[in-house]
Amino acid sequence: MKNSTIVVLLLALATVSACTHAGSVKVKAAYDIYSNYEDKVPGRWAFSSNGSDFVTDDVEMDSFICSAHSYPLDAKQAFETSALQTFTNLVEEIDLVKNPISAAKLTASGFKGQVIVNSKDMKADIGFIPGFFMATAKSNVDLTATMQVIGPSGQLMGTTTSDHGKAKSPAGLACEGGADAISDASSEAIQRILGRLGERFSSSDRVRFSSSGRVR
């Protein structure tokens, strides 16, 4: 009886009308960041971010169940907002700028330096685990991002890092729960990757010396 119920459920989920499910990726800044220093990075800093590489029209499907459905993912705004909130907590003063400022103009603009955080690559998948009454959606999202830190004398730091997030959610009667799993996994990946970048920035001797008027 149990096996028959699961088979019926699988067939129902597999044959339900195709649909597009887009979730909302939550802003998830990284606040609990380890640093070699107790105080914030001194001075006023310019900040810019671009998350355009964290967008896809259709997340990769990793199962037959709900395979007729598509799951677009747009984590651009969540990444950019989370990045700004993360670095706001790491420096004394921060200004969001639309476009990067050249090193030569930083001092004239009143900045100690500039932080540029950009998306680079994203891999995301969604799968569905059959259950007795309802399937479970599971998602894995891998993100790669870059960070440049520029002072009046030029680049102070350039780094690339990757991290991942994973989440599960009830699939729902029409596979709509897959969007929630993808969104939650994306938010977790964003927080993890910004934590890595924030730690490197806040712990950098070179950044600290530059903000004090010296470069080591």
CATH number at residue 191: 3.30.160
Identify how many contiguous H helices and E strands the chain contains and give both numbers: 5, 8
Within a domain: 168: yes
| Count of domains for the chain | 1
Within a domain: 37: no
Within a domain: 154: yes
Closest CA to 115 of 105, 100, 98: 100
Question: What gap in Å lies between CA 197 and CA 202, rounded to an integer?
Answer: 9
Within a domain: 151: yes
Residue 45: strand pairing partners? 94, 113
Q: So what's the pLDDT on residue 12?
A: 47
Q: Residue 8: is its pLDDT beyond 50?
A: no
Domain holding 12, by residue range, is: 2-16+43-211
Task: Summarize pLDDT for 168-201 with one digit per residue, the tens.
Answer: 999 998 899 999 999 999 999 999 999 999 999 9
Residue 17 pLDDT level (bands cut at 50, 70, 90): low
Within a domain: 103: yes
Start-end of H helices in the chain: 2-15, 76-88, 103-106, 177-202, 205-211
Look up the pTM and report it: 0.88
Task: Summarize pLDDT for 59-76 with one digit per residue, the tens.
Answer: 999 888 888 899 999 999
What the block records as the tokens of 142 is 């891998």
Residue 19 pLDDT level (bands cut at 50, 70, 90): confident
Within a domain: 34: no
| pLDDT cut 90: percent of the chain above it | 74
Residue 131 pLDDT level (bands cut at 50, 70, 90): confident
Within a domain: 57: yes
Burial class (CB in 10 A: 0-12, 13-18, 19+), 122: buried
- CB neighbours of residue 39 within 10 Å: 9
pLDDT: is 76 or 5 the higher one? Answer: 76
The one-letter amino acid code at 94 reads: I
Within a domain: 216: no
